[in-house]
Amino acid sequence: MKKVTRFSIITLLVLSLVIVSFSTVFANHIEQPKRVWADPTVSTSDKGVTFDSIALDSWQLPGTVTANSGMTLPTGFPANQAQFGGKGIHVSGLPDGKYVEVCFSFPVYIYSWAGTIYKWNGTKWVAMPTTITPATGESNTTTACTLRAGNGVYSLIIGFWGTPEAPLT
């Protein structure tokens, strides 16, 4: 009888460990949604206005420098203070005096990142008025948009503003 009881207890402990291991891995997988940098979008409410737009990888953008890590960064910002958030976009063919809305996905906003849309003016990145719309129940993607964009190259330039962790002593 003692052998059966001892065997039952050991079997129960092993099963418990197996169940806890798989349930923890499964729970962590569910709690961490995938954050995706969707391509920027361009739209207008003016009917009949035509334009072209093309998404550009960060290495295709003007006004960049390659860091020692190989990462493409925007020029004109303090070291380690700014980087591109996803792809940029080139808008062209827009008639004079007409504007479009340019929007960028901003999936890292919830992790204490800040961002502003910038336009390349030929020599430097110039900040544009930017509206951040946090994710909601209807849309689980945070977006950054600028309303009065003309022809040119635009990018979301981001930086981390959260409180850094205290160093370990």
Distance CA(154)–CA(55), nearest Å, equals 10
27-51 residue pLDDT tens: 444 444 456 899 999 999 899 999 9
- How far apart are alpha carbons 116 and 124 in whole angstroms? 14
Instruction: Map out the domains of the chain as residue ranges.
Output: 1-32, 41-160
Between CA 101 and CA 117 the distance in angstroms is 11
CB 50 within 8 A of CB 44: no
Could you tell me which of 143, 150, 69, 55 has the C-alpha nearest to residue 106? 143
Res. 53: pLDDT tops 90: yes
pLDDT higher than 60, residue 148: yes
pTM of the predicted structure, to 2 decimals: 0.75
